[in-house]
Structure 1
Amino acid sequence: MTTALHDARLRAVCAAVRDTGARTLLDLGCGGGDLILRLALLPDLSRLTGIDIEQASLRAAQARLSELPPEARAKVQLAQASMTAAHPNLRGYDCACLVETIEHLPLGDLNRLEHALFADMRPGHVIVTTPNAEFNPVLGVPAHRFRHPGHHFEWHRARFAGWAEGVAARHGYTVTRHDIGETHPALGGASQMAVFARLG
């Protein structure tokens, strides 16, 4: 069942994708297909590729493609692959999305993700969402725990900003950040989003 926060996150990402004007899109860590099934319905998108390392997630996403109209279903392809490895056949996409995925990587893998995505694949835009750790008390998450047992880290807004700005500067992108979901006046949004745009 889709939570209110997850729905807000998907709506925010879909809106950001529309704003980029993308025609082709990568969903990295596509899971069971929540995002890609929504994006496939956007008429401006002509090709969507979802990758995930988990075969079970891909099977679930594949099964859900039957929910789509035939013309939308025909735009989608799924593949088992790691987002931390460069894939030459994934170069040249207009936009890549990583929705609540980076926190599932060990911190040591972030450099590999950065190289594969921003240095090798180099999409025109990259949209990243991740939990905002500052908001965790509002959700009743104890200070010594993460929101999900599969998370390796959860960042405060300043830490996420520092990472995003560093990536952008190293690889020739600009970046803007946005709150997602319920917002606290002092703690920010429940999730946070960075939208990278390649220069030149």
Structure 2
Amino acid sequence: MASALHRQRLATVVEHLVSSGARSVLDLGCGEGELLQQLTAHACFERLVGIDIDDRALEAARRALGLARVPLQDDRTQVRRGSFESGDRDLCGFDAGVLLEVIEHVDPRRLACVERAVFATMRPNTVLVTTPNQEYNILHDLGPGEFRHPGHRFEWPRAKFRQWAGGVAARNGYRVCFFDIGPADPARGSTTQMARFVRPEIGTMRATA
């Protein structure tokens, strides 16, 4: 069962996707399909695609979403094997993309590949990225250098995350703003931090439509 914090993360991401006006959503690192399950409850989303490199997680996602093994998709929802470190041209043209608690599982030396694949090649109109706030770890009873999950390769403080996200936005023609998820501490912020990237020309086109 998902923790209360993870349920809040999912709810926050869904809220931002709905408010963005997205009709198609790409879940990058979809795991067992928790976000996709939430999105299927909203009729505004007409196309939902999740990718992951973990075959067992993908099979669990298919079961959870009620997708037959063959074919691996229905008219609206699909999960498939794929990596958000490689720019798949078949995954271009989505209104929104989500990296939900996944970048911290990537070797920091590979983040440039993620940037090229997601922001330069696939180029969703809106991209949401959530990741742990390292400054909050002491409130989770973690010591210096300890991570929240054994699969994490890094956990960033807010300044480092904002520096990375600002660079990604500047290099790829996005604007970025930041949000906190979870209870806030006056000095340390919230346990989860989120960046929302938007291609500014999309907002201009909507405003003039």
Q: TM-score range by the shorter chain?
A: over 0.9
Measured in 2, the distance between the counterparts of 1:177 and 1:89 equals 29
Contact 1:178 1:192 in 2 (8 A): yes
| 1:84 aligned partner | 85
Name the TM-score, length of structure 1 as normaliser.
0.95
| 1:55 aligned partner | 55
Deviation readout 1:2-40 (Å, 9 max, x if unpaired): 101101100110011011100001000000011011011
| 1:5 aligned partner | 5
Measured in 2, the distance between the counterparts of 1:124 and 1:153 equals 27
Classify the secondary structure of the residue corresponding to 2:97.
strand
Deviation at residue 182 of structure 1 after TM alignment? 1.5
Name the TM-score, length of structure 2 as normaliser.
0.91
More displaced 10-residue stretch of structure 1: 139-148 or 56-65 = 139-148
Measured in 2, the distance between the counterparts of 1:141 and 1:118 equals 33
Classify the secondary structure of the residue corresponding to 1:2.
coil
| 1:41 aligned partner | 41
Measured in 2, the distance between the counterparts of 1:185 and 1:52 equals 36
Deviation at residue 142 of structure 1 after TM alignment? 1.5
Percent identity (aligned): 45
Contact 1:5 1:182 in 2 (8 A): no
Deviation at residue 74 of structure 1 after TM alignment? 4.3
Measured in 2, the distance between the counterparts of 1:185 and 1:12 equals 21
* Structure 2: 5+ residue stretches without partners: 68-73, 202-209
Measured in 1, the distance between the counterparts of 2:61 and 2:151 equals 20
| 1:70 aligned partner | none
- Map of 1:34-183 to 2, 5 A cutoff? 34-66=34-66, 74-183=75-184
Deviation beyond 4 Å, 4+ runs, structure 1:
none
Deviation at residue 90 of structure 1 after TM alignment? 0.3
Measured in 2, the distance between the counterparts of 1:91 and 1:144 equals 37
Which amino acid counterpart does residue 200 of structure 2 have in structure 1? L
Measured in 2, the distance between the counterparts of 1:57 and 1:92 equals 25
Deviation at residue 66 of structure 1 after TM alignment? 2.4
**Aligned length, in residue pairs:** 195
Deviation readout 1:111-141 (Å, 9 max, x if unpaired): 0000011111111000000000000011111
| 1:14 aligned partner | 14
Deviation at residue 145 of structure 1 after TM alignment? 0.9
Classify the secondary structure of the residue corresponding to 2:150.
coil
Measured in 2, the distance between the counterparts of 1:172 and 1:83 equals 19
Q: Which has the higher contact order (CA 8 A, sep 6+)?
A: 1
* Structure 1: 5+ residue stretches without partners: 68-72
